[in-house]
Amino acid sequence: MALDRWIALIILGFCLIYGYTAWFTMDVGLAPFMKRNPIWPSTFPKILSVLGATASFFILFGVEKKEDKVLDIDYRRLHEYKLGQAILLLSLMIVYALLLRPAGFMISTGFFLILGSVILGERKWYMMIPIALISTFFVWYLVQEVLGIYMRPYPAWFGV
Amino acid sequence: MLDGILLGLQTAFSIQMLLMVIGGCLIGTFIGMLPGLGPMSIIAIMIPVAISMGDPAAAIILLAGVYYGAIFGGSTSSILLNAPGVAGTVATSFDGYPLAKKGQAGKALTVAAIASFCGGTIGAVLLMVFAPALSSVALLFHSAEYFALMVVGLSAIAAFAGTGQVAKALLMTVVGLMLGTVGEGTMFSLPRFTMGIMDLQSGLSFVTLAMAMFALPEALFLVLNPPKPGSGKSEEIKGLRITRQEAKSIAPVIGRQSIQGFFIGVLPGAGATIASFLGYAVERNIAPKGEQKEFGKGSIKGLAAPETANNAACTGSFVPLLTLGIPGSGTTAILLGALIALNVTPGPRLMIDEPQIFWAVIISMYIGNIVLLVLNLPLIPYIAKILTIPRNYLIPYILFFTLMGAYIGQNNATELLILVGLGVCATALKFADYPLAPLLIGFILGGMLEDNFARSMQLYDGVAFITARPMTMILLALAVSLILLPSIRSKQAKIKANRVADGD
């Protein structure tokens, strides 16, 4: 089965769970006076669940004729692309999200920019480190001082 | 209209606004040149900056400047490197790159700049004429018609998605609508589909979703499949002038494509990409036999046509956004989201309630076009230097700005995890050739669609609103036929093909 059908199957599952919530569980706690309304909070989701499930069925059973198209990346040959780098960068993003608050903006962003370049194969440390540090400071200054959005620059135990 | 124009001039000609236009155009041009980064990603990245300014007129002027700049920047990299930064400028590379290879890069860039300028300016004049007219008609609309109109908009986006893509686009729209129902709605103060997670109480953030749908997958695609080195080298740029003969030959092309491009841009779901391809195809077909052979080998007509059309279409796509509040493309959907975040609701009332925003946007289009022409023409050789930034430095910065965009909007680190999760899902959808713009459009329109639906249901005590007013029925019938039309057409073509086969 092609990837687009697998995805349609997953979305169908999602629609079924969404539909189950809308049809069977959502109205349980509804106040009696709201039940007299012609529209309930679950009305629109109910319609959407039916529409979503129908559209997924159409893709799943290939009702619509497909046109052969050359895509930028062929997912069947994914291993031939730089998959490792992409996964490492995604992991780095997750680590950054978890570190941003405890480690502060300066340290976490500096590490993110330097490690991001290292993952992509850059080894010119004398260029990489100054560029990362200068741009980290520049962005922090822009966001905090110019735009006035608070961002803790250093870890809380620095006391700054 | 004159009052409006004067009001627009007054607003747009303040120092702050002029700086916004110039800044927006420059940022858009610089980033638009980077292959793989389209106007949608750039605007998504710029949204937190625009929202934090607090002034809706300044914000939309900045974002619109970024939009034109991105389209212009995309054509620069198409011509110099054969690496279109934006889908709308792919057709530009058909003739632009051969011209650059012949050593006429300077001339090609000048033609592109002039064509963009004319397309954008004529588009702005047409917008000035058509937008007020359409908006006075739209004032007659009630909630029921609004609901029906949004259904038409959403189905048109699905219907224009292309052969074999209608069901996918439709599914993506529905998924977008479903994601829009997460959190507390405006009509019912009841949390829905939050799974008990407090962070989802206020719903998913539009900026996070925009970043996850566009910026992140594009950056990941750049990581997975880096452009091959030596696929094109920037030629020395000299000889920016074009001859009188050449100017005469491209003038009718520019005139035709400005109008055609504008009207294609007005249609929901069409946009700059279709306008540029169609413009190129039309001009090739109507060119004299001798010139037809030149197309694809460095014809200046073939370069002027898509460049004019895509800029006119960009302006055209503002018509449904400003007059009906319905975005016709992913980019205008992002602009709509930004405006809503600034407490401005585009629609027919915009011209009456906040005319300074409406007219300032239109006037800023003229200024933006002049800025692009005046600033970019002499700067072209220097701007091209950005193309030499190594990928190893560029990608971490794109990812960082994506993360920052989501973080600044919400000041919440959980948002970053949601961004990465949704970004991975969006990349998988992109692998399977699912269109992502309908999802975002569905998400943004979802709230308004449900509100209008609920209001009509309450007014007519049920679904009677569909039959109560003929306009609603006509619009809903149009929506159904838009979705069914592509499949009926392909069936007819099949029957025709079978008949021909039987005849053999």
Q: What is the pLDDT of residues B65-85, one digit of tens each?
A: 888 888 888 788 778 766 665
**Inter-chain touch B178–A148, beta carbons under 8 Å:** no
- Between A53 and A147, the more confident residue is A53
Residue A19 in any domain: the answer is: yes
Last residue of a domain, one of A30, A45, A69: A69
Looking at the fold, whether A85 and A151 belong to one and the same domain comes out as yes
Looking at the fold, whether A62 and A87 belong to one and the same domain comes out as no
Comparing C-alpha atoms, which of B386, B392, B219, B413 is closest to residue A115? Answer: B392
Chain B from 193 to 212: CB within 8 A of any A CB? 193
Entry pTM: 0.77
Does residue B277 have a pLDDT over 70? yes
Cα(A115)–Cα(A118) distance, rounded to whole angstroms? 5
Q: What pLDDT was estimated at residue A116?
A: 94
Comparing C-alpha atoms, which of A50, A45, A52, A44 is closest to residue A9? Answer: A52
Cα(B423)–Cα(A160) distance, rounded to whole angstroms? 34
Return the minimum-mean-pLDDT range out of A106-110, B187-191, B266-270, B491-495: B266-270
Q: Rank A27-31, B109-113, B474-478, B494-498 by mean pLDDT and report only the highest.
A: B474-478
**Inter-chain touch A86–B220, beta carbons under 8 Å:** yes
Looking at the fold, whether A84 and A145 belong to one and the same domain comes out as yes
pLDDT tier, B385 (very low <50, low <70, confident <90, very high otherwise): low
pLDDT averaged over every residue in chain B: 82
Looking at the fold, whether A110 and A150 belong to one and the same domain comes out as yes
Residue A74 per-residue DSSP state: -
Does residue B170 have a pLDDT over 60? yes
Q: What pLDDT was estimated at residue B238?
A: 62
Q: What pLDDT was estimated at residue A71?
A: 67
- Between A66 and B356, the more confident residue is B356
**Inter-chain touch B392–A89, beta carbons under 8 Å:** no
Q: What pLDDT was estimated at residue B263?
A: 85
Looking at the fold, whether A43 and A21 belong to one and the same domain comes out as yes
* Surface-to-core class of residue B495, CB atoms within 10 Å of its CB (0-12 exposed, 13-18 middle, 19+ buried): exposed
Tell me if residue B191 falls in helix, strand or coil.
strand
pLDDT tier, A67 (very low <50, low <70, confident <90, very high otherwise): low
Last residue of a domain, one of A14, A42, A69: A69
pLDDT tier, B234 (very low <50, low <70, confident <90, very high otherwise): very low
Looking at the fold, whether A65 and A131 belong to one and the same domain comes out as no
Compare all CA atoms of chain A with the CA of B425 and give the residue at the minimum distance.
A7
- Between B103 and B150, the more confident residue is B150
Closest Cα of chain B to A98: distance in Å?
A: 7
Does residue B440 have a pLDDT over 90? no
Q: What pLDDT was estimated at residue B141?
A: 77
Does residue A86 have a pLDDT over 90? yes
Compare all CA atoms of chain B with the CA of A147 and give the residue at the minimum distance.
B52
Residue A18 in any domain: the answer is: yes
**Inter-chain touch A67–B163, beta carbons under 8 Å:** yes
Share of chain A above pLDDT 70, in %: 92
Comparing C-alpha atoms, which of A128, A150, A55 is closest to residue B392? Answer: A128
Of A59, A83, A117, the CB nearest to B168: A59
Optimal mutation site among B62, B171, B192, B458, interface A, most CBs of chain A within 10 A: B171
Last residue of a domain, one of A69, A100, A127: A69
Compare all CA atoms of chain B with the CA of A142 and give the residue at the minimum distance.
B49
Looking at the fold, whether A57 and A117 belong to one and the same domain comes out as no
Q: Are B73 and B24 a contacting pair, CB within 8 Å?
A: no
**Torsion sign over Cα B319, B323, B329, B333:** positive
Task: Show the DSSP H helices in chain A as ranges.
Answer: 3-20, 43-60, 83-103, 105-119, 125-140
Query: What residues make up the domain containing A141?
Result: 80-158
Does residue B145 have a pLDDT over 60? yes
What residues of chain B lie within 8 A of the CB of A53, using their CB? none
Does residue B375 have a pLDDT over 80? no
Looking at the fold, whether A38 and A95 belong to one and the same domain comes out as no
Share of chain B above pLDDT 70, in %: 90
Residues paired with B192 in a beta bridge: B183
**Inter-chain touch A97–B413, beta carbons under 8 Å:** yes
* Surface-to-core class of residue B30, CB atoms within 10 Å of its CB (0-12 exposed, 13-18 middle, 19+ buried): middle
Looking at the fold, whether A51 and A91 belong to one and the same domain comes out as no
Does residue B462 have a pLDDT over 90? no
Residue A140 in any domain: the answer is: yes
Of B49, B224, B417, the CB nearest to A86: B224
pLDDT tier, B386 (very low <50, low <70, confident <90, very high otherwise): low
Q: What pLDDT was estimated at residue B232?
A: 46
Structure tokens at B435: 């269109």
B453 contacts chain A (CB < 8 A): yes
Q: Are B416 and A97 a contacting pair, CB within 8 Å?
A: yes
Q: What pLDDT was estimated at residue A70?
A: 65
B176: Cβ contacts below 8 Å, ≥ 6 apart: B438, B439, B440, B441, B442, B443, B444, B446
Looking at the fold, whether A51 and A8 belong to one and the same domain comes out as yes
**Inter-chain touch A139–B188, beta carbons under 8 Å:** no
Q: Rank B99-108, B130-139, B256-265 by mean pLDDT and report only the highest.
A: B256-265
Of B187, B420, B454, the CB nearest to A97: B420
Compare all CA atoms of chain B with the CA of A144 and give the residue at the minimum distance.
B408
Return the minimum-mean-pLDDT range out of A40-49, B351-360, B385-394: B385-394
Does residue B359 have a pLDDT over 80? yes
A·B CB contacts under 8 A = 173
DSSP string, B231-270: S--PPP-------HHHHHHHHHHHHHHHHHHHHHHHSTTT
Chain B from 429 to 448: CB within 8 A of any A CB? 429, 431-434
Number of domains in chain A: 2
pLDDT tier, B422 (very low <50, low <70, confident <90, very high otherwise): very high
Does residue B220 have a pLDDT over 80? yes
Residue A75 in any domain: the answer is: no
Q: What pLDDT was estimated at residue A160?
A: 57
B420 contacts chain A (CB < 8 A): yes
Does residue B383 have a pLDDT over 70? no
